[in-house]
């Protein structure tokens, strides 16, 4: 649910904990009375002033920099005051409390409260106001949170491109082409008696084909951006003592999971996020899959299957040193059958053969052989995981995107396919053609927020940090 957008708001805008500098930010209309009492004087616009921040008795809470950004030339589009003090939590809380206290005090010149209605900001409310006041669009607002949360350099650079408007510009280009095509269709519908085929003369089919090609390029970059942000979940599965924990350690480059020759050592889920060329992969080690009378191991196996069912990719690990055994091969076949039953369609299962160093003369018929001990095949596996994830490195063209962006673009593509079918039918389906183009434009508008429900905005901005 959207917050009240007319209230003045205040919040600590820096992370919790101690630091060299901390910021208290105020946004609203007519901040001059509040500025005067806290800073002791008025401030020149967009000029940092070093001065004491005063409490109710006129004593200094701290000395720091105060900056006033008059509307509309501010982050939120409203009047903004930033108080940059020493970054101790107590100091910042005192400044926050002083702002709230001073707001309700009567101003000596007017007898009215200095800033009536001032309240602590909700998460993401500063960025929400920047969006509502036209300073940024919705995709750029989301990029702010993504830039803060970026876990890799590639993700940070891609979020920066989205924040600068690269992704939004692509969407606007598609939208403008779509609006032009809609105009041609509406002209044909509005003036049928003129006997002028607007669509044929304007090469509407060619325009639609070009639009679909442009959409395909944007979709590809958006999928890459979503991958940079979300990553994929990779689950390592197999029989006990197949080398699953060793593989996790090898991929992570650290001793995360306990490794021993005793079957059933891993009884719970162990996960680690690794990065391959900036793409986050959430790798999960699971208990060995087998029948057991041990209640704890049964729970571990059940949890393993739960992880497998939610995987984006499964690494099915086989033990080369036991591959010739009939019982072992049968157990692997049983696991493969269960994988085919439990996994959703399209989830890839990679056959990996471990312990290559202990059985160098034996090679699998299919799949990859590797050794967690020597590192043989580990780099090849990393590259294969990137392929499975669908990563195609385009370092200067990828912008960070979210799942909702990818889904919206997919809906645009579906509407354009139907539009092409109606366009081929000419006059018999022009009404349906116009409707599909309208729906495609609505889906595009959802990305930048030019059309969207209030509850969607509330969900997006509520996930921001306080003071942003």
Quick check: helix, strand or coil at residue 313? strand
Q: Please give the pLDDT value at position 3.
A: 54
The reply to whether 266 sits in an annotated binding site is yes
Q: Please give the pLDDT value at position 317.
A: 92
The reply to whether 158 sits in an annotated binding site is no
* Selection from 334, 229, 209, 219 nearest residue 278 by Cα: 229
Please give the domain boundaries of the chain with CATH numbers for all domains: 9-137 (3.30.1360.120), 153-227+402-449 (1.20.120.430), 231-389 (3.40.50.300)
End-to-end CA distance of the chain: 17
The reply to whether 233 sits in an annotated binding site is no
Q: Please give the pLDDT value at position 39.
A: 95
Q: Is 279 exposed, middle or buried (0-12, 13-18, 19+ CB in 10 A)?
A: buried
Q: Please give the pLDDT value at position 277.
A: 81
- CB count within 10 Å of CB 207 equals 17
Q: Please give the pLDDT value at position 462.
A: 65
Q: What is the pLDDT along the chain (468 residues), one digit of tens a residue?
A: 445 788 999 999 998 888 899 999 999 999 999 999 999 999 999 999 999 999 999 999 999 999 999 999 999 999 999 999 999 999 999 999 999 999 999 988 888 999 999 999 998 899 999 999 999 998 998 888 888 887 777 778 888 888 888 899 999 999 999 988 888 887 777 666 554 466 777 788 899 999 999 999 899 888 888 888 888 889 999 999 888 888 888 887 756 544 445 555 455 678 888 888 878 888 998 888 888 777 888 888 889 899 999 888 999 999 988 888 899 899 999 999 999 998 888 889 999 999 888 875 555 557 888 988 898 989 999 999 888 888 876 555 577 788 889 999 999 999 999 999 988 887 667 889 889 999 999 999 999 887 544 544 555 566 566 666
The reply to whether 310 sits in an annotated binding site is no
The reply to whether 135 sits in an annotated binding site is yes
The reply to whether 426 sits in an annotated binding site is no
Q: Is 396 exposed, middle or buried (0-12, 13-18, 19+ CB in 10 A)?
A: exposed
Question: Distance (Å, rounded) from C-alpha 351 to C-alpha 367?
Answer: 5
The reply to whether 245 sits in an annotated binding site is yes
What are the beta bridge partners of residue 275? Answer: 280
The reply to whether 348 sits in an annotated binding site is no
- What are the structure tokens assigned to 210, written together? 């070009």
The reply to whether 342 sits in an annotated binding site is no
The reply to whether 286 sits in an annotated binding site is yes
Q: Please give the pLDDT value at position 133.
A: 92
User: Taking the model in full, what pTM does it have?
Assistant: 0.70
The reply to whether 263 sits in an annotated binding site is yes
Alpha-carbon dihedral sign for residues 263, 264, 269, 270: negative
Tell me the Cα Rg of the chain: 30
Scanning 105-243, the segments in alpha helix (DSSP H) are 125-132, 138-149, 153-163, 166-190, 198-201, 204-230
Question: Distance (Å, rounded) from C-alpha 2 to C-alpha 76?
Answer: 16
The reply to whether 274 sits in an annotated binding site is no
- What are the structure tokens assigned to 53, written together? 């921040």
The reply to whether 287 sits in an annotated binding site is yes
The reply to whether 262 sits in an annotated binding site is yes
The reply to whether 285 sits in an annotated binding site is yes
Q: Please give the pLDDT value at position 266.
A: 52
Q: Is 316 exposed, middle or buried (0-12, 13-18, 19+ CB in 10 A)?
A: buried
- What are the structure tokens assigned to 334, written together? 């049983």
């Amino acid at each position: 649910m959207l917050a009240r957008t007319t209230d003045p708001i205040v919040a600590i805008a820096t992370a919790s904990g101690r630091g060299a500098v901390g910021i208290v930010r105020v946004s609203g209309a007519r901040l001059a009375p509040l500025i005067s009492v806290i800073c002791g004087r008025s401030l020149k616009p967009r000029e940092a002033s070093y001065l004491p921040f005063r409490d109710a008795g006129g004593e200094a809470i701290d000395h720091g920099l105060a900056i006033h950004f008059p509307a509309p030339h501010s982050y939120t589009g409203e009047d903004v005051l930033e108080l940059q003090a020493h970054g101790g939590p107590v100091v910042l809380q005192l400044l926050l409390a002083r702002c709230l206290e001073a707001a309700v005090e009567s101003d000596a010149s007017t007898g009215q409260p200095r800033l009536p209605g001032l309240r602590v900001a909700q998460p993401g409310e500063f960025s929400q106001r920047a969006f509502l006041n036209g300073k940024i669009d919705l995709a750029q607002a989301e990029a702010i949170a993504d830039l803060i949360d970026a876990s890799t350099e590639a993700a940070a650079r891609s979020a920066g491109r989205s924040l600068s408007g690269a992704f939004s510009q692509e969407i606007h280009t598609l939208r403008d082409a779509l609006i032009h095509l809609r105009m041609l269709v509406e002209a044909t519908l509005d003036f049928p008696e003129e006997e002028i085929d607007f669509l044929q003369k304007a090469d509407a089919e060619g325009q639609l084909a070009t639009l679909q090609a442009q959409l395909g390029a944007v979709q590809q970059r958006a999928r890459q951006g979503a991958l940079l942000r979300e990553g994929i979940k990779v689950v390592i599965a197999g029989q006990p003592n197949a080398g699953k924990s060793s593989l996790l350690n090898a991929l992570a480059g650290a001793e995360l999971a306990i490794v021993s020759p005793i079957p059933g050592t891993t009884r719970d889920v162990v996960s680690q996020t690794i990065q391959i060329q900036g793409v986050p992969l959430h790798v999960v080690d699971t208990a060995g899959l087998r029948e057991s009378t041990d209640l704890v191991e049964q729970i571990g196996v059940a949890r393993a299957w739960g992880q497998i069912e939610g995987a984006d990719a499964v690494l099915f690990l086989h033990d080369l040193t036991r591959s010739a055994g009939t019982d072992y091969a049968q157990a692997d076949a049983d696991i493969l059958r269960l994988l085919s039953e439990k996994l959703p369609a399209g989830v890839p299962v990679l056959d990996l053969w471990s312990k290559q160093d202990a059985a160098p003369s034996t090679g699998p018929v299919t799949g990859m052989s590797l050794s967690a001990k020597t590192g043989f095949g580990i780099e090849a596996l990393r590259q294969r995981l990137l392929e499975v994830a669908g990563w195609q490195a385009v370092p200067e063209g990828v912008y960070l995107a979210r799942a909702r962006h990818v889904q919206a673009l997919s809906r645009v593509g579906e509407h354009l396919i139907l539009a092409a079918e109606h366009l081929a039918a000419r006059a018999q389906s022009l009404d349906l053609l116009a409707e599909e183009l309208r729906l495609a434009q609505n889906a595009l508008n959802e990305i930048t927020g030019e059309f969207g429900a209030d509850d969607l905005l509330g969900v997006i901005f509520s996930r921001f940090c306080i003071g942003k």
